[in-house]
């Protein structure tokens, strides 16, 4: 297999031949959900989901890199490997940034600032800053790995582990903050939470599900990198698809269906209502989002 070999050891880019059908499947899946997100973003101008949309593009481009790697087997080269590895590592951090901003908007839309452990403005800044820092550390680790020596690859792995650990810790704190807000709001709901038409409980459930999926994936990648280049996880391709690909696709579909554009409409003085079996959100008289009641359809 292609990799970096020295008298002291070997770093293999892959310890199997990447499956072209599996990679092609996720190129199609991520392309479809990302295309829908792009349309929803243009239609609703819900810019807090811009990082998530960019993450979707990272995902399907990363899987193109995986096919390029498969075509090189067994003589893998660094370029396609870094394309695949770096983009699939960074995409979930972009998903996380959108989730952080969604919580801040939910708190503001319900007039729940007093119930949050962290003020919404600081909450978004704090967690997005942590996300950017984690992204930077992982990107720096990938950069170290491009230096080309075996020592550089092992050093880069350790840096990536540090970035993943930061993201896991940040996510854990974020979920705790969201839970505290949820509990306090249920015990002492604000007038706005009852009168605005905002189903904040459903929106929080969406954040919990999305956060849980990203957290499981991040823990998986943390363990994978911690085991090293010859670890059990990195030797079995199915673990990557089960604990990364499927989970990240589920996050994107989740926010296709439970799109937070209605929160944006309410914050802009608009309204959220049901009409003829459809959910409608309007900001200052302009319809910005529409979907079937019950989440059966979202455009």
Tokens found for residue 20: 């072209």
Tokens found for residue 83: 């394309």
Handedness of CA 119, 122, 124, 130 (dihedral sign): negative
Residue 285 phi, psi (nearest 5): 85, -5
Nearest C-alpha neighbor of 290 from the set 270, 269, 274: 274
- Tell me the HSE value of 276 on the side-chain side, using a 13 A CA sphere: 3
Are the C-beta atoms of residues 130 and 170 closer than 8 Å to each other? Answer: yes
| Whole-number Å distance between alpha carbons of 28 and 109 | 36
- The per-residue pLDDT for 195 is 66
| Whole-number Å distance between alpha carbons of 156 and 146 | 9
- The per-residue pLDDT for 35 is 97
Prediction pTM value: 0.85
Are the C-beta atoms of residues 244 and 213 closer than 8 Å to each other? Answer: no
- The per-residue pLDDT for 238 is 96
| Whole-number Å distance between alpha carbons of 266 and 110 | 9
H helical segments located in the chain: 20-44, 50-72, 78-109, 120-145, 150-187, 191-195, 200-227, 232-235, 237-240, 246-257, 261-267
Are the C-beta atoms of residues 70 and 20 closer than 8 Å to each other? Answer: yes
Residue 294 phi, psi (nearest 5): 90, 0
- The per-residue pLDDT for 255 is 95
Tens of pLDDT, residue by residue over 166-220, are: 989 988 999 999 999 999 999 999 888 876 566 788 889 999 999 999 999 999 9
Longest dimension (CA), the chain: 72
Tokens 């995902």, located at residue: 59
Which residues contact residue 100 at a Cβ distance below 8 angstroms, ignoring those fewer than 6 apart? 123, 124, 127, 128, 131, 174
- The per-residue pLDDT for 267 is 62
| Whole-number Å distance between alpha carbons of 245 and 255 | 16
Are the C-beta atoms of residues 3 and 75 closer than 8 Å to each other? Answer: no
- Tell me the HSE value of 198 on the side-chain side, using a 13 A CA sphere: 29
| Whole-number Å distance between alpha carbons of 244 and 291 | 29
pLDDT tens track of the chain, all 299 residues?
555 554 445 678 888 999 999 999 999 999 999 999 999 999 888 899 999 999 999 999 999 999 999 999 888 888 898 899 889 988 998 999 999 999 998 998 888 999 999 988 888 889 988 888 988 888 788 777 766 667 777 788 888 889 889 989 988 999 999 999 999 999 999 888 876 566 788 889 999 999 999 999 999 999 998 888 788 999 999 999 999 999 999 999 999 998 888 776 556 555 555 554 445 455 554 544 444 444 433 33
- The per-residue pLDDT for 22 is 97
Residue 45, helix vs strand vs coil: coil
Are the C-beta atoms of residues 78 and 147 closer than 8 Å to each other? Answer: no
- The per-residue pLDDT for 217 is 94
Nearest C-alpha neighbor of 154 from the set 102, 225, 49, 250: 225
Are the C-beta atoms of residues 37 and 53 closer than 8 Å to each other? Answer: yes
Q: For the chain, first and last CA: distance in Å?
A: 45
């Amino acid at each position: 297999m292609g990799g970096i070999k020295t008298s002291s050891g070997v770093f293999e880019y892959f310890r199997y031949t990447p499956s072209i059908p599996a990679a092609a499947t996720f190129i199609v899946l991520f392309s479809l959900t990302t295309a829908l997100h792009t349309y929803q973003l243009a239609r609703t101008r819900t810019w807090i989901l811009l990082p998530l949309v960019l993450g979707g593009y990272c995902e399907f481009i990363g899987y193109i890199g995986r096919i390029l790697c498969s075509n090189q087997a067994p003589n893998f080269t660094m370029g396609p490997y870094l394309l695949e590895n770096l983009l699939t590592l960074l995409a979930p951090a972009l998903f996380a940034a959108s989730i952080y901003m969604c919580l801040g908007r939910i708190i503001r839309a319900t007039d729940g600032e007093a119930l949050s452990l962290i003020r919404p403005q600081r909450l978004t800044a704090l967690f997005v800053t942590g996300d950017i820092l984690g992204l930077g550390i992982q990107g720096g680790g990938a950069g170290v790995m491009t230096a080309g020596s075996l020592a550089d690859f092992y050093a880069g792995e350790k840096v990536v582990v540090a970035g993943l650990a930061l993201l896991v810790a940040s996510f854990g704190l974020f979920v705790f903050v969201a839970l505290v807000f949820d509990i306090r709001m249920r015990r002492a709901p604000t007038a706005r939470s009852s009168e605005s038409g905002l189903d904040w409980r459903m929106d929080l459930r969406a954040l919990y599900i999305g956060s849980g999926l990203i957290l499981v994936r991040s823990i998986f990648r943390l363990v994978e990198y911690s085991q090293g280049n010859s670890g059990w996880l990195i030797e079995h391709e199915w673990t990557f698809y089960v604990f990364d690909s499927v989970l990240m696709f589920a996050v994107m579909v989740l926010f296709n269906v439970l799109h937070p554009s209605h929160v944006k409409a309410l914050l802009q003085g608009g309204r959220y209502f049901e009409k003829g079996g459809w959910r409608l959100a309007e900001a200052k008289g302009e319809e910005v989002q529409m979907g079937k009641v019950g989440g059966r359809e979202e455009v």
